[in-house]
A and B are shown apart, each in its own frame.
Chain A
Amino acid sequence: MTDEESPSALPPVAIPAFSGPLDLLLHLIRINQVSITDIPIAEITEQYTAYLDAMRELDLDVASEYVALAAELIYIKSRMLLPRPPGAPEEDPRLDLARRLAEYERYKKTAESFHEIDILRAALWPRAETEMPRSAEGETLEVSLFDLIDVFRKASDRYRLAHPPALQIRHLRFSVADKMIQLIDRLEVSGGELALLEFLGQMAYRAEAVTAFLATLELVRLGVVRAFQAAAFGEIHVRRTDVPFAPDQVRDTYR
């Protein structure tokens, strides 16, 4: 919750920081000067819900637990209004809540004295923790789950530093321009003609083959090479044409 003060439209009491619905209820019981064991349910319920409304008006998140207690108060109120079924034991419907409030108040009170002690003892400065040179054995300190997780994190960090991954996967890049030049070179070596499959089959990677294929298509488009088949469904060959090919320009055009 919060301890912000309200500008307007609030009960005359500023809303202090409540640590929960029971805390708020205790506060109401206190300012009404009534007993935990004899809570005027109707009155207190009304004030309680008024507080929730005020909190909403302040845009404070009214946690579901607060609403749950409001419901419980209303339930108790209804049970007090209804006649008891015949033969049912006479029991104050407020008893359970009173018991819980009493127990809660005890812890709340303890928390307050803890708070006082904490402030007082903060003024006592112990000897600063210094690292002692010591052997690995001996000293046993309490170790929490978080300490262990910390150690594991450090260990795995150290491991990562000491053991770089054995296999480094580098992203391979192939350029259409390179493949165009490569195909022209190959054609020159093999006398101007080449089976396309032979050229593509040289490529080590799938991406490289795709690039080489695109390069071939591009050369065909430019008319630098011609693709042809000797027979239907036969092997596709590429052949160098007379159209001039300038590797330098190609590099500038295709990347």
Chain B
Amino acid sequence: MQDTESVAEISPEQERPRETRAEKIRAALEALLFTSARPVSEKDLGDVLGATRDAVRGALGTIGAAWNDPIHGILLEQVAGGWRLTTRPEHDALLRKFHEVTERSRLSLAALETLAIIAYRQPITLPEIQDLRGVNSAAVIKTLFEKKLITTAGRKPVVGTPFFYRTTNEFLIRFGLNDLDELPKPEEIEEDLAATVGDPTAAAAPLPPPVLSSMEEPEDEDDGDDEDDDDDLDEDDEE
């Protein structure tokens, strides 16, 4: 870009063609994402833009990298098999105040437990869930259903033909998963179990950032100052 800056006197007509294909795609993507409340898949974005998936992915990478910076108020995240824009977490308090939102409804421990069971064992029926939890779970299922975190998936051909339940896209979005494969593996949970001596009150401690956009990789330039600043920030966050 810099070298063309000095050429100065260029008529608008001539300026147009310099806007590359990639830039057009990037700008269009921003418009598409800005107007989409739900995550949009790369395929859908490619289809509507008439661009290849690689081109879309490249453009998303550039957008994500540009925005994944506290100087911006929003970020690009990959979730539930698509991409969407959200605000950066640090503005939560401000947004709550401005939009007069008091509390978001939290899921009870029982609901989360049931959700975890469904997430790992889907499709699964209510009797099977109750077996695993050792407690009646019908009310909890209803709550999860109403919150659209689970849905039915046919019926099991056994006595009583109970409904099969599975998790929904809404579940993936809420918990920041791109797909079900991103659920922590049982071994990882096991390690976690071994590590913590069971202190459920440690919940409020910051987690590694949820599966936000994974756009950092191409930024490995050794850029002296900037890099150091970033590191400092990271350390602060961890402490």
List the interface of chain A (C-beta within 8 A of B).
17, 19-22, 30, 63, 65, 69, 100, 103-130, 132, 142, 144-146
Tell whether A109 pairs with B210 under 8 Å between CB atoms, given A20-B135, A30-B198, A142-B151: no
Say yes or no for B41: interface residue by CB 8 A criterion. Answer: no
Asked whether A112 lies within 8 Å of B134 as measured between CB atoms, the reply is no
Within residues 170 to 191 of chain B, which ones have a CB less than 8 A from any CB in chain A?
A: 170, 173-176, 183-184, 186, 189-190
B residues bordering A, Cβ < 8 Å? 34-37, 75, 77, 84-92, 95, 104, 106-110, 112-113, 115-117, 119-120, 132-136, 145-146, 148, 151-152, 168-170, 173-176, 183-184, 186, 189-190, 192-193, 197-198, 200, 203-207, 209-210
Most A C-beta atoms less than 10 A away, residue of B95, B116, B151, B168: B116
Interfacial chain A residues near B36, Cβ < 8 Å = 127
Residues in B whose Cβ lies below 8 Å from that of A114: 107, 112, 115-116, 175
Q: Which of B112, B115, B186 has the most CB of A within 10 A?
A: B112
Whether A142 and B169, one on each chain, are in contact in the complex, defined by CB atoms closer than 8 angstroms, is yes
CB pair B89 A103 closer than 8 Å: no
Choose from B134, B152, B186 the contact partner of A20 (Cβ within 8 Å): B134
Query: Do B113 and A111 have beta carbons less than 8 Å apart?
Result: yes
8 Å CB contact of A110 from B84, B87, B189, B210: B189
Specify which chain B residues have a CB less than 8 angstroms from the CB of A30 in the assembled complex.
197-198
- Residues on B with beta carbons closer than 8 Å to the beta carbon of A117: 175-176, 207, 210
Can you identify 20 A-B contacts, CB atoms within 8 angstroms? A21-B135, A100-B134, A103-B132, A106-B186, A107-B116, A108-B113, A108-B116, A111-B109, A114-B107, A114-B116, A114-B175, A118-B112, A123-B92, A124-B88, A124-B89, A124-B92, A125-B87, A126-B84, A128-B37, A142-B168
CB-nearest residue of chain A to B90: A123
| A residues in contact with B198, CB < 8 Å | 30
Residues of B within 8 A of A127 (CB): 34-37, 84-86
List residues of chain B with CB within 8 A of the CB of A100. Answer: 132, 134
Residue in chain A with minimal CB distance to B134: A22
Whether A115 lies near B107 (C-beta < 8 A) is yes
Query: Which residues from chain B contact A109 at a C-beta distance below 8 Å?
Result: 189, 192-193
Q: A110-B120, A113-B192 are in contact. Are A19 and B210 (CB under 8 A)?
A: no
Expressed in whole angstroms, the minimum distance between the Cβ of B195 and any Cβ of chain A is: 10
List 16 additional A-B contacts (Cβ < 8 Å) besides A109-B193, A125-B86, A125-B95. Answer: A19-B135, A22-B134, A106-B189, A108-B116, A110-B116, A114-B116, A115-B203, A116-B203, A117-B176, A117-B210, A121-B174, A122-B104, A126-B85, A127-B34, A129-B37, A146-B146
**Chain B residue at minimal CB-CB distance from A125:** B87
Question: Please, which residue of chain B has its CB at the minimum distance from the CB of A112?
Answer: B200
- Across the interface, name the chain B residue whose C-beta is closest to A124: B86
The 6 closest A-B pairs by CB, nearest first: A20-B135, A123-B92, A111-B112, A123-B89, A110-B116, A124-B86
Q: Which of B86, B113, B135 contacts A126 (CB 8 A)?
A: B86
The answer to whether A106 and B109 have CB atoms under 8 Å apart is no
Which partner residue on chain B sits nearest A22 by CB separation? B134
Complex formed: what's the CA distance from A110 to B136 in Å?
A: 19
- Given A110-B184, A122-B92, CB of A17 within 8 Å of CB of B109: yes
Q: Which residues in B have their C-beta under 8 angstroms from that of A104?
A: 132-134
Q: Is the CB of B110 within 8 A of A19?
A: yes
Assembly CA distance A115 to B75 (angstroms): 22
Q: How far, in Å, is B167 (CB) from chain A's closest CB?
A: 11
